[in-house]
Amino acid sequence: MNPRPCRLLAAICVALSPVFAARPPEIPVNYDEGKVPAYRLPDPLVAADGSAVREAAAWRKRRLELLEVFSREVYGRTPAGRPAGMHWETTSVDRAALGGKAVRKEITVWFTERKDGPRMHLLVYQPPGAAGAHRPRPAFLGYNYYGNQCVNADPGITLSQAWMRPNAEFKIVGNRATEGTRGVHASRWDIETVVARGYATATVYYGDLCEDRGEGVERDVGALFRTGSAEMRSPDAWGAIGIWAWGLSRALDVLAADPEIDASRVAVHGHSRLGKTALWAGAQDERFALVISNNSGCGGAALSMRVFGENVERINTSFPFWFARNFRAYNRREAGLPVDQHQLIALIAPRAVHVASAEDDRWADPRGEFLAARHAGPVYALLGRRGLGVADMPAVNQPVIGDGVAYHIRTGKHDITPYDWARYLDHADRVLRR
Ligand code: GCU
C-alpha cells in the first residue's frame, strides 16, 4: 500500500479518537500539603472488638486480625506454605565469579513436580571461599525488573527467557530480554559492594512468578492456584503483588536449604512496586529478619489516607491486577479503609524495617512513607523496641536508624542508588551481624 494515504488515514483516526473513544474520567492527584484531608489513622493496638492490646501475647492475636484485613481488603489472600511438588536444582556454580570476588550460583525452582510447569530462576552471589569454609552468610533477597542478567554485567548469568515489559531505553522489544540488558540495573544492585561487606545477595526476575500485566494473574503461579482473570477473580483473591510476595517466601525456602546461607539473617528488599511486594512478604512471613522498602509509595509504605501523590483510585485504575478486587471499594474513599499502611509496617515488628524515600519522588509521597514508619512505633514499643525514635521527618540525607525502624530520604529521583545501599548495609550490619 502507498504509505502516504496510510499516514493520512492514521492522522484522521488520531484526530477523531477523542470524539469516539470512551476516555476514562480524569483521576485527580493531589500534590498540595494544604489539601491533605483530615484523617484518623486506625490504631494498630486496638483490636476489632474495641479492646486495647497491652501485651505481646494479645499482639499475636491482633496481628492475625490485621493480616486478615490486609489479605481480604488490600492484597488478596495468599495460599499457605509451599506446594507439595515444589523442587529445585542448582544449575551452575562458579566459585571464581566477578574476577574472583564472588561465588555465583544459579538455581531453578519448579513449583510442581513437573518440569514444564511454573518455575523461577534464583541467582545468588556470595563472598568468595571454598564450600563450607565460612559460617553461613546473612543475605539480601529481592526481585529484579528485567531478568537476572540485568543486575550485573557478569556474562555468566543466564539470560532470562521470560516475557517482559517493553523498555525502549534497555532495548527490550518483542517482550524478551536481549544480550543488551546485561547489567542495565547494576547500579540498583551494587553487588560487588554488598558481597565485599560479607553478605550474599539473591535475586529472581519478578515476571517468573507473575507477568506484570493483566493476563499475568491467570498464568504461571496464578494458574497453579486457579486465581482466575484480573476481572473475574473472587474479590479477595490475590493479585500480582500477592503472587510476587509469595514467591519471595519460596525463594527463602530455597535459601534456607543452602548450608552456606543463614536463613535466620535474610533481608528482603524491593524498589517501588517491588517495595510494596517486599513489605507484604515481610509482613506475612516472619522468617525475614529485615524488610526494606525503597520508594514503595501507594500500597507500600505511604499512608493511603493522606491522598497525596498516587492515590487508591489511580493505582487500581492503572494496575487493576496488582491488588485484590476488594481494594477498589476504597477508590476515592481512602477514609473508609479499615487499615492503613503504618499497620502493614507494624506487622513486621519487632523485626527490623527500613523505609526509604527520594526527595523528587512526590508520586510516592515521601512524607506519607515517613509517617507510616513513625506510626508503626507503638507496636515496636509494646514489643520492647523504640521504633523510629523521632517525631519529625528528618532532612534529606540525614538517615535515622532507630531501634527496629529506620527511615531515610535522599536527594534525587525515584531509584535505588549506592547511597541507599550504603544505608541498608549499615542497618544490616546492626541487625544481621551477631
Ligand atoms: C508506577 C506506579 C507506582 C509504582 C511504580 C513502579 O509509577 O504508579 O505505584 O510504585 O510504577 O513500580 O516503578
Delineate the domains of the chain, giving CATH numbers in brackets. Answer: 56-431 (3.40.50.1820)
Q: Which residue out of 241, 277, 363 has the highest number of ligand 1 atoms within 8 Å of its CB and is therefore the one to mutate? A: 363
Give the count of alpha carbons within 13 A of 226, CB side only: 0
What predicted TM-score, i.e. pTM, was given to this entire model?
0.94
Q: CB count, 10 Å around CB of 81? A: 11
Q: What angle do CA 115, 117, 119 make, to 5 degrees?
A: 85
Helix 273-284 to helix 240-256 angle, to the nearest 10 degrees? Answer: 60
Please name which of 258, 268, 264 lies closest in space to residue 290, comparing C-alpha atoms.
268
- Using alpha carbons, list the distances in angstroms from residue 396 to 107, 357, 410, 421: 39, 9, 5, 16
DSSP 13-45: HHHHHHHHS-PPPPPP-B--GGGPPP--PPPTT
| Cα of 317 from ligand 1 centre, angstroms | 12
- The ligand 1 atom nearest the CA atom of 363: 7
Centre of ligand 1 to C-alpha 167, Å, is: 15
Cβ(297) to ligand 1 under 6 A? yes
Is the CB of residue 279 below 6 angstroms from any atom belonging to ligand 1?
Answer: no
Residue of 75, 169, 310 to mutate, ligand 1, most atoms within 8 A of C-beta: 310
Which H helix or E strand runs over 12?
Answer: helix 3-20
The pair phi, psi for residue 222, each rounded to 5°, is -60, -40
Buried b (16+ CB within 10 A) or exposed e, 10-47: eeeeeeeeeeeeeeeeebeeeeeeeebeeeebbebbeb
Burial classification of residue 54, based on how many CB atoms lie within 10 Å of its CB (0-12 exposed, 13-18 middle, 19 or more buried)? exposed
Q: What residues are annotated to the active site?
A: 272, 414
pLDDT tens per residue, the chain (434 residues)?
344 444 555 445 444 444 344 455 689 999 999 999 999 999 999 999 999 999 999 999 999 999 999 999 999 999 999 999 999 999 999 999 999 999 999 999 999 999 999 999 999 999 999 998 899 999 999 999 999 999 999 999 999 999 999 888 887 888 999 999 999 999 999 999 999 999 999 999 999 999 999 999 999 999 999 999 999 999 999 999 999 999 999 999 999 999 999 999 999 999 999 999 999 999 999 999 999 999 999 999 999 999 999 999 999 999 999 999 999 999 999 999 999 999 999 999 999 999 999 999 999 999 999 999 999 999 999 999 999 999 999 999 999 998 899 999 999 999 999 999 999 999 999 999 86
Residue nearest to atom 12 of ligand 1 (CA): 273
**Can you read off the three cell numbers belonging to residue 307?**
491522598
- DSSP symbol at 125: E
Pocket test for ligand 1, best of 273, 296, 313 (most atoms within 8 A of CB): 273
How far away, in angstroms, is 240 Cα from ligand 1 center?
13
In sequence order, which residues have a C-beta less than 8 Å from that of residue 57 and are 6 or more positions away?
none
Q: Is the dihedral of CA 56, 58, 64, 70 positive or negative?
A: negative
**Does 188 contact ligand 1 (Cβ within 6 A)?**
no
Residue 310 CB less than 6 A away from ligand 1: yes
- If you measure from the C-alpha of residue 274 to the centroid of ligand 1, how many angstroms do you get, rounded to a whole number? 9
* Å from CA of 183 to ligand 1 middle: 22
Q: Which residue in 367, 333, 347 sits closest to 280, CA to CA?
A: 347
Question: Hey, whose CA ends up nearest to atom 7 of ligand 1?
Answer: 363
Question: In whole angstroms, what is the distance from residue 295 CA to residue 362 CA?
Answer: 10
